[in-house]
Amino acid sequence: MAETLTATTVRELAGEAVSSDTRVLTLVVEGMHCGNCMRKVERTLQAVPGVVAARVNLSNGRAHVTTASTGVELDTLVEALCGVGFKSYELVEGTVPAHAAHDAAYLRRLGVAGFAASNIMLMSVAVWAGIAGDMDASLKTLFHWLSALVAIPAVAYAGQPFFQSAARALRARQLNMDVPISLGVTLATGMSLYQTMRGSDQVYFDAAVSLLFFLLIGRYLDMAMRSRASSAAQNLLGLRAAAATVVLPDGTTQRLPTRDVVPGMRILVAAGERIPVDARVRSGTADVDESLITGESRPRHVEVGDTVYSGTISVTGTLETEALAREENTLLADISRLMGAAEQARGRYVRLADRAAQLYAPAVHLLGLGTFIGWMLLGHGWEPALTAAVAVLIITCPCALALAVPAVQVAASGRLFRSGIILKAADGLERMAEVDTIIFDKTGTLTLGEPRLENGANIDDATLGRAAGLAIASRHPYARAVVAAAKARGLAAAPVPDVAEVAGAGLRHVGIAGEARLGSASFCGVSESIADSGSTLWLHTPDGRATAFHFTDPLREDAASVVIRLSNAGFHVEILSGDGRAAVAEAAGAAGAAIWHAGLKPADKIARIDQLKAEGRKVLMVGDGLNDAPALAAGHASLSPATAVDISQTAADAVFQGERLAPVIDVLLVAHGARRRALENFGIAIGYNFIFVPLAVIGLATPLIAAIAMSASSIAVTANALRLSRQHLGRLA
């Protein structure tokens, strides 16, 4: 069974985003509705002394702030955001913001606006029908006053989210998109009241309340869809156990919140319970469902000494465990941070949308001002000029453009995680969608990476024990197989101190008697004619004796079908391996790969990748060995199994779990799907502006129509992104 990510590995991966001398705070920022809001929050946070970086996720309303390890207080960040009109607070890891009350308030305001709009519309229809039939002036005025009595309190209550946001921005001497909305609603209501007092027919109470009604519908649906597209990392943390049964020194038990558990505590886990924190089994045996972490449906049998992980479930049996980490330092939390870093980072499409929105924002305000001046110069008066300008400002809010790619990115990350794939690089999917060549390493990639020592019966105990002492310092599959063979024979595999691992070559140790080496034939000074006899490690001892260790390593169950599907889809597939020709030829034949290269050093793999690049190919490198790390970095995109050594996972754009190779196809399908959704969203955002902005400028789109169109565009791009979560992606092109 393939191993899952180890806690150490995940922490090292997550450490790419956060170095040891920094810390990350996650803030919930209220009132962000568009790309301008997002950039304003980022700029404000980055201007705070001691802040290393700030990234805002508009989809879930959070800001991830990387600060120096000392010197930046939470209150400083909160006050800085308050100064530009945004209320914020820290999100304690593992908790979810209380959206329910916020959503309920929006629903109440939406209900009030809808009730008021429908009643005012009925009175307006009666008035305009009455005007055509010569309605009595006093009755008409009465209907206008009744409309005012309904509209004014409805506007005051239902418009609070927009008014409060606009007021915070103005107090901070800033502008946001709620300012023109509030201005439009207030002016329409005030002008209507003024015209009612004058006895005029130009009353727009219905337009003002309907504008709020449609804006609230758009905001509510937008928030609901963003919530559906919320981070898979956040959902993952929601699966942690809320409490733990702690065994006290006197033998009694006590239920404690998981956040209060510290390393060393004895934790009792009954059958059917989730394991609260990473722990080591002290007593008992059980089958543990680790599908949450590994993607494998088959439970793992654990016994005394085994490590179990937070969020997994003891299916059978009761375990007494010893806590190894606090809640925030568990493997589950580390995977969540790793996924969050990928979701939060800026891919190329996101950066493109950011640059477009950055240029777009000042153009919008200039266009609104130009519309107002143009209408005034044409002699239409300040009232229609202001109405047209407000419609322009509302309709050109860049919400759709800002959400176009982040929503796709979050949906793609969530879908991949459900398939056992952890995306590490934000632009990794964009690059994977461009590849036309797939290169596989053999050992641990096409194969299970669990080789068995084939000629162990021909190796004496002393030689096997010496090799195991060197091999225990490495995570290479052949090295682990040597250690496993020694343990199976009952030999004590004591680690040799000061063993150096040479990438792509092997292990070396210089002792009093001389130098011992365990690795490839060339590394151990064995001639190629002797060495080319299959998958082999050589042990070269100080006395000059060389011993061969031959291994067999079965292909992954679906390796052949995956290679065939990739080839049939038009991908150029090759195998690059450091193993001997016989072993690679056998594996390539079984997998159906026509092109293969054996006996390659890391530099040889890079040279082949560079050659393919020179031919204009975009290479996806799939590998797991120490010697694959440079090749992974050299490829256009890269993918590693969870059994990969740490340096390879660090170099890869994504890591897949489980014993199957199918995730390679899954990640390519999602990559192509994500690119389609992102381009479609760009098309929706651009098309919307192309159609409605000119209509607003010439006065054919009223503020009411502008509000409907703006809300519809944001909902459209978010809904289109959400299709990626469950949509059947078809076949590779």
- Sheet containing 243-247: give its strands across: 253-257, 243-247, 266-269, 319-323, 279-283, 307-308
Domain of 281 in residue numbering reads as: 243-329
Which residue, 310, 329, 348, sits at the end of a domain?
329
| Phi, psi for residue 314 in degrees, rounded to 5 | -80, 105
Q: According to the per-residue pLDDT averaged within each range, which of 31-45, 432-446, 493-507, 578-592 is highest?
A: 432-446
Q: What kind and span of H or E run contains 423? A: strand 421-423
461 classed as catalytic: no
Average of pLDDT values for 511-529? 82
Contact 60, 226 (CB under 8 A): yes
442 and 481 housed in the same domain:
no
Contact 145, 196 (CB under 8 A): yes
CA–CA gap between residue 281 and residue 302 (Å, rounded): 8
Catalytic residue among 222, 289, 354, 441: 441
Does the structure show a pLDDT above 50 at 6?
no
Pick the residue with more confidence: 331 or 346? 331
Contact 279, 324 (CB under 8 A): yes
**Residue 528 has which token pair?**
């190629």
Q: What kind and span of H or E run contains 400? A: helix 399-403
pLDDT score recorded for residue 517: 92
Q: Which of 241-245, 293-297, 687-691 has the lowest mean pLDDT?
A: 293-297
Count how many residues are written for the chain: 733
In the three-class reduction of DSSP (H, G, I as helix; E, B as strand; rest coil), residue 729 is classed as coil
570 and 426 housed in the same domain:
yes
254 and 280 housed in the same domain:
yes
| Terminal Cα-to-Cα distance of the chain (whole angstroms) | 32
pLDDT score recorded for residue 169: 73
CA–CA gap between residue 206 and residue 126 (Å, rounded): 12
CA 34 to chain centre: 20
Q: Which of 322-331, 419-428, 444-453 has the lowest mean pLDDT?
A: 419-428
Does residue 336 form part of some domain?
no
Does residue 546 form part of some domain?
yes
Q: What percent of the chain has pLDDT over 90?
A: 10
Query: pLDDT-derived band of residue 322, with 50, 70 and 90 as boundaries?
Result: very high
Does residue 77 form part of some domain?
yes
CA–CA gap between residue 415 and residue 726 (Å, rounded): 8
Residue 511 CB neighbours (<10 A): 11
Query: Which CATH number do you get for residue 254?
Result: 2.70.150.10
Kind of pairing between the strands at 253-257 and 506-511: unpaired
Query: pLDDT-derived band of residue 34, with 50, 70 and 90 as boundaries?
Result: low
Does the structure show a pLDDT above 90 at 49?
no
Average of pLDDT values for 267-295? 82
CA–CA gap between residue 253 and residue 111 (Å, rounded): 50
**Cβ neighbours of residue 95 closer than 8 Å, sequence gap 6 or more:** none
Query: Which CATH number do you get for residue 18?
Result: 3.30.70.100
Query: pLDDT-derived band of residue 535, with 50, 70 and 90 as boundaries?
Result: low
Query: Which CATH number do you get for residue 617?
Result: 3.40.50.1000
Q: Which of 487-496, 675-684, 688-697 has the lowest mean pLDDT?
A: 487-496
pLDDT score recorded for residue 668: 92
589 and 442 housed in the same domain:
yes
Residue 729 CB neighbours (<10 A): 17
Distances 499 to 312, 453, 511, 628 between C-alpha atoms, Å: 36, 22, 10, 21
Does residue 352 form part of some domain?
no
Kind of pairing between the strands at 22-29 and 88-90: antiparallel
Average of pLDDT values for 448-476? 85
CA–CA gap between residue 545 and residue 462 (Å, rounded): 13
The maximal CA–CA distance of the chain, rounded, in angstroms, is 118
pLDDT score recorded for residue 607: 87
pLDDT score recorded for residue 573: 94
Query: Which CATH number do you get for residue 540?
Result: 3.40.1110.10
Query: pLDDT-derived band of residue 155, with 50, 70 and 90 as boundaries?
Result: very high
Does the structure show a pLDDT above 70 at 308?
yes
Does the structure show a pLDDT above 90 at 439?
yes
In the three-class reduction of DSSP (H, G, I as helix; E, B as strand; rest coil), residue 255 is classed as strand
Residue 283 CB neighbours (<10 A): 12
In the three-class reduction of DSSP (H, G, I as helix; E, B as strand; rest coil), residue 125 is classed as helix
67 and 32 housed in the same domain:
yes
Pick the residue with more confidence: 358 or 432? 432
pLDDT score recorded for residue 129: 63
Express each pLDDT in 175-229 by its tens digit.
666 777 787 788 778 878 887 888 776 677 877 787 788 778 767 765 665 555 4
Does the structure show a pLDDT above 90 at 543?
no
Number of domains in the chain: 5
Q: What percent of the chain has pLDDT over 70?
A: 78
440 and 589 housed in the same domain:
yes
Q: Output the average pLDDT for the chain.
A: 78
504 and 602 housed in the same domain:
no
652 and 567 housed in the same domain:
yes
Which residue, 656, 674, 706, sits at the end of a domain?
656
Which residues are paired to 515 by β-bridges? Answer: 510
Does the structure show a pLDDT above 80 at 288?
yes
Does the structure show a pLDDT above 70 at 230?
no
CA 167 to chain centre: 34
Q: According to the per-residue pLDDT averaged within each range, which of 12-26, 263-277, 378-392, 516-530 is highest?
A: 263-277
Does the structure show a pLDDT above 60 at 67?
yes
CA–CA gap between residue 168 and residue 693 (Å, rounded): 27
538 and 456 housed in the same domain:
yes
Give, as one character, the DSSP assignment of residue 445: I
Does the structure show a pLDDT above 90 at 571?
yes
Does residue 217 form part of some domain?
yes
- How many Å is the Cα radius of gyration of the chain? 32
Does residue 538 form part of some domain?
yes
115 and 209 housed in the same domain:
yes
213 and 106 housed in the same domain:
yes
Does residue 673 form part of some domain?
no
Does residue 367 form part of some domain?
no
pLDDT score recorded for residue 440: 92
Which residue, 94, 111, 136, sits at the end of a domain?
94
- HSE-up (13 A, CA, CB side) for residue 265: 26
Q: According to the per-residue pLDDT averaged within each range, which of 82-96, 418-432, 528-542 is highest?
A: 418-432
Q: Where are the beta strands (DSSP E) in 82-197?
A: 88-90
Q: What residue type is assigned to position 456 of the chain?
A: G
pLDDT score recorded for residue 59: 59
Query: pLDDT-derived band of residue 286, with 50, 70 and 90 as boundaries?
Result: confident
Average of pLDDT values for 382-401? 75
Query: pLDDT-derived band of residue 125, with 50, 70 and 90 as boundaries?
Result: confident
Pick the residue with more confidence: 646 or 476? 476
22 and 126 housed in the same domain:
no
pLDDT score recorded for residue 647: 46
